[in-house]
Structure 1
Amino acid sequence: MPRFIALDVFRGMTICFMIIVNTPGNSETTLAPLLHANWHGFTPTDLVFPSFLFAVGNAMAFVMPNWADKPAGWVMQKIWKRTAIIFLLGFLMYWFPFVKWDGQSFSAFPLSETRIFGVLQRIALCYGIAATMIYFLRPRSTYILGGLFLFLYWALLYWLGNSADPLGLQGNAVLWLDKCLIGEKHMYHGEGIAFDPEGLLSTLPAIANVIAGFWAGDLVRKKGKSWESLALLLLAGSLLLFIAYCWNGLFPVNKKLWTSSYVMLTTGLDCIILAAIIYVLDFRKYTSWSEFFTVFGKNPLFIYLLSEIIAILLWFFKTSESVPYYRRLYEIVFSRFGGYLGSLLFACSIMMVCWLVGWIMDRKKWYVRV
C-alpha cells in the first residue's frame, strides 16, 4: 500500500511544533501561544501531544490490515514489544546522561530519583492498549469503549480526588494515584510540586485520542481521499468541538489532567486539520511545501529523541563560570534579536538541526522503526 502522505505531513507538523515548544531560548520570554495553559484552558501548544497520539492511531489503521493473516500470538508479541521499547526509551531519556556534574566531578544519577512516566511512556501505553483493543474487538466496540473511558475517568477524578478540590493541582486523583504507586521522587516537579501531567490515571482518557486517530485513518483507508471522507472528517470534527464546548462547563478543558473535554477538543481539531491537509495535498495538488514536514514524519521517534538529547546535553555541560551552554548560546547569539524573537529563533534553530539530520536520513533511506 502506498504511503499516506497526509499522515506523514500531519505527523511531521506535530514533531516540528513539539520541538519548538520544548526548546525555547528563554522560558521567561516565550510567546504566549508556545506555552501550555497554566491549568484549565487551552493554547495551541496543548494540541501538540494529543495530535501525536492521534497520528499513532492513524498509522495503526494502515498497518493492522497487514496483520489479518498472522497468528494472534505473533501480533501481541509485536504490539507489546513495541510498547516496551518505546516506554524504555522514554524512561532512559529522563535518566540520561545517567550522571550528575557539580562543576568539579561526576556522580551517578540515582535510579531512585528518575521520572517513570512521561511523553514517550504515555505514547507507549496508549498504543499498546489501543492496539490490543482494536485487534481483538470490532471497531464499533472499540469506539464505544473509548467513549466509556472518558466517562469513567470523569467519575474517577471526583470519586478518588479531594472532595474540596477534585480538579485542583494538589487535590486531583492523578496526583494521589501516582504518589501511592511510584512516590514523589519518580514524578515530574515542574509544577512546583510533585505532579506528573503524564500520570498513570490520566493515561486512561488519552487512549481515546489514539482510538479517534484510528477511526480517521480507517475512514480514509476504506473510502479513499474522497469528498465523502473530507465531509465525514469535518462533520466529526465539528461535532467533537461542540461536545467539548458543552462538556467544558462541567468538566473543564485541562491538558495537565487530560480531561475528557480536552480529548473531545483535541480530537475534533485533529480531524479538521487532517481534512485540511488532505484537501490541500490531494485535491488542490499543492505539494511543494509538504517535503519539509515529511522529513519529520518519516522518522518521528528518532527526531524527537534527538531534539531532547540535544537540549539535555546543552543544559548538562557548563562553561567555566558554571553557566549551561544552552543559556550561554542563547545569550551570545539569539538574545541580540530581543527576548521573544530570540527565544523563538533559538527553538527554530534546534528544530532545523534536527530537520537536517532527518533530511540526510531520508535521502539515505534510513528509517528508524521499533
Structure 2
Amino acid sequence: MKNKLPENNSTRLASLDILRGFDLFLLVFFQPVFAALVRQMNLPFLNGILYQFDHEVWEGFRFWDLVMPLFLFMTGASMPFSLSKYIGTTGSYWPVYRRILKRVILLFIFGMIVQGNLLGLDSQHLYLYSNTLQSIAVGYFIAAVIQLHFPFKWQIGITLLLLLAYWIPMTFLGDFTPAGNFAEQVDRYVLGRFRDGVFWNEDGTWSFSPYYNYTWIWSSLTFGVTVMLGAFAGKIMKEGKANRKKVVQMLLVVGLALVGLALLWSLQMPVIKRIWTGSMTLLSGGYCFLLMALFYYWIDYKGHTRGLDWLKVYGMNSITAYLLGEVVNFRCVAASVSYGLEQYLGGYYSVWLTFANYLIVFFLLGAMYKRGLFLKV
C-alpha cells in the first residue's frame, strides 16, 4: 500500500492511468448498469448496442471482448517504466524477481477469491486457474523474464516464437471447435477436477461442463504476447517523449498493421477470444495500440485532461477496483437505506440498486485516491 500520490513528473504518462481507468470503469460501472437499464427499458434499438457489451459465444469479436486484453495490454505498457527503475537501483536481478514473484502469487490468490472459490474452503469448487487476474499474473511473468534478459530485437523474436509455439499444436493437433481444440485438451489434462466449469454428481464423481470453454494453460503463451505488445507500446512512449507526435504516429501504424495481420491470419486461425487464438491476440493488440494512440494523442501530446482525470480513480487503483467490483456486493447497503423507493421505481428499482452498488465502489475508490492510498501488488 502506498500512502502518497505519485509525483507529477515527466516519466509518468497520464494517458496510461486514464486509459486503464477507462477500461476498469467499463467493467465495474458502465456495463452492469447499462445492461440492467436496457433490459428494463426493453427497447429493441438498444439491443444491438447491448450485444456489443457481452462476449462473443465463440468465433468473432465484440467490443466487450476487448476489456480483458486491454487490461493485460496496460499491464505491459507500464513495465518499461517500472522494471528499469527497480533494476537500476540495485544492479541485481534478485530484488526485481522477488517483486515479480510476489505480484504473481498475490494476483493468483486474488483471482481465486474473485472466482468465489478460495474463501468457500470447498475443495470441490476450488479452481486453480480461471480468472483475468491470473492471466495477468502469468502474462506479466512471461513478459518480465523476456524484458529482463533479452535486448529489444530478441524480445520481438521471442514474442513471435510464442505465437508460433501456440499456433503449431492448435493447427495440427486439433481443430477450432469448443470441444476439439488443443488448448481445451491441455486444460482438461492439466487442471482436471480443479478446472472451472467442473460439476459434481451425487455419487461423488465429476464431469467437465460442456458449456465452459475458456482455456488458460496453453493460452498463457498468447497472454504473454498480449502483455508484450503492451510493453512494446510502453517502450515507444518511454523513448519517444522528446517527439510525442512521432509516438502517436508509431502507435497508429503498429495498431493498424496488427489489425491487418490479424484479419489475414483469421482466414486460417479464427478469432476466438475464449481460447485466446493468435489472430485474436493480434486483433485485440491492434485495437489496444489504436486506443493507446488516441489517449496518448489527446492527453499527453495535446495536454487535454479536462473531464478525464476522474478516470484515474479507477486507473491508479485498478486491482482494488476489480476486486471491489467483482467480489463485494453493496446492493444490500443500497437496499437498506433506499427500500422505500421501490414503490415509486417499480421495475427500475433493481436498476437503481445496480447503479448504487457501483456508485458506492466509485466513492470508496475516490476516497482512497484523495488520501493517496493505492493497492500495489
TM-score with structure 2 setting the length = 0.82
Q: Partners in 2 of 1:209 and 1:347 — Cα distance?
A: 32
- Which deviations, in whole Å up to 9, do the C-alpha atoms of 1:73-104 show, x marking residues without a partner? 222111112111111111133245734xxxxx
Matching residue of 1:188: 197
In 2 relative to 1, CA 16–246 (structure 1 residues): closer, same or farther, beyond 3 Å? same
2:279 aligned partner, one-letter code: S
Alignment match of 1:295 (pick from 313, 318, 329): 313
Measure, in 1, the Cα distance between the counterparts of 2:317 and 2:222: 26
Aligned position for 2:202: none
Deviation at 1:291, TM superposition (A): 1.4
Q: Answer yes or no: is 1:208 the counterpart of 2:225.
A: yes
Aligned partners of 2:251 and 2:293 also within 8 Å: yes
Q: Is 2:104 the partner of 1:86?
A: no
Answering whether residue 276 of structure 2 is matched by residue 276 of structure 1, we say no
C-alpha distance 239-347 of structure 1, shift in aligned 2 (>3 A): farther
Q: In the alignment, what sits opposite 1:3?
A: 12
- Report the counterpart of residue 125 of structure 1 in structure 2: 138
Give me the whole-angstrom Cα distance separating, in 2, the residues matched to 1:235 and 1:296: 29
Secondary structure of 2:293's counterpart equals helix
The one-character-per-residue Cα deviations of 1:211-238 (angstroms, maximum 9, x if unpaired) are 0111111111111161110110001011
Measured against aligned partners, the alpha-carbon deviations of 1:153-197 in whole angstroms (never above 9, x if no partner) come to 121213332xxxx11111112221111112145323699626352
Matches within 5 A, 1:15-34: 15-19=24-28, 20-21=30-31, 24-25=35-36, 31-34=50-53
Question: How big is each residue's C-alpha offset from its partner over 1:254-307, in whole Å with a ceiling of 9 and x where there is no partner?
Answer: 110111111111111111111111111133332111112111001000110001
* Displacement after TM superposition at 1:68 (Å): 3.0
- Describe the superposition over 1:89-137 as per-residue Cα deviations: whole angstroms up to 9, x where unpaired: 11133245734xxxxxxxxx51232222121111111111111111011
Residue type of the alignment partner of 1:18: L
Cα distance in 2 for residues equivalent to 1:262 and 1:236: 16
User: Contact 1:119 / 1:198 at 8 angstroms: preserved in 2?
Assistant: no
Say if 2:243 is the partner of 1:232.
no
Paired letter, 2:19: F
Secondary structure at the aligned position of 1:256 is classed as helix
Assess if the C-alpha contact under 8 Å between 2:178 and 2:213 holds in 1. no
Change (3 A) 1:334 1:76: farther
Aligned to 1:158: 171
> What is the one-letter code of the residue matched to 1:213?
G
- 1:355 matched to 2:368? The reply is no
Residues 1:172 and 1:141: Cα distance change in structure 2 (over 3 Å): same
- State TM-score, norm by structure 1: 0.83
Aligned partner (choices 336, 352, 369) of residue 347 of structure 2: 336
Q: How does 1:80-119 map to 2 (within 5 A)?
A: 80-96=101-117, 98-99=119-120, 109-117=121-129, 118-119=131-132
Distance in 2 of aligned mates of 1:151 and 1:279: 33
Tell me: CA distance 1:177–1:332, structure 2 relative to 1, closer, same or farther (3 Å): farther
1:304 counterpart residue number: 322
Q: Is the CA contact 2:36–2:354 (under 8 Å) kept in the aligned structure 1?
A: yes
Whichever residue aligns with residue 42 of structure 1, its letter is F
Q: Distance in 2 between matches of 1:241 and 1:169?
A: 24
Work out the CA distance in 1 between the residues paired with 2:279 and 2:353. Answer: 33
CA gap of 1:186–1:55, structure 2 versus 1, over 3 A, is same
The aligned runs of 1:137-176 (5 Å cut-off) are 137-161=150-174, 166-176=175-185
Mark the CA change 1:25 to 1:98 in structure 2 (over 3 Å): closer, same or farther. farther
Give ranges in structure 1 of 5+ residues lacking alignment.
100-108, 318-324
* Separation of aligned partners in 2, 1:184 and 1:294: 40
1:217 corresponding residue in structure 2? 234
Change (3 A) 1:138 1:350: farther
Contact 1:90 1:119 in 2 (8 A): yes
What are structure 2's unaligned runs of at least 5 residues? Answer: 1-8, 41-46, 200-207
User: Percent identical across equivalent pairs?
Assistant: 23
The alignment of Structure 1 onto Structure 2 pairs a total of residues equal to 342
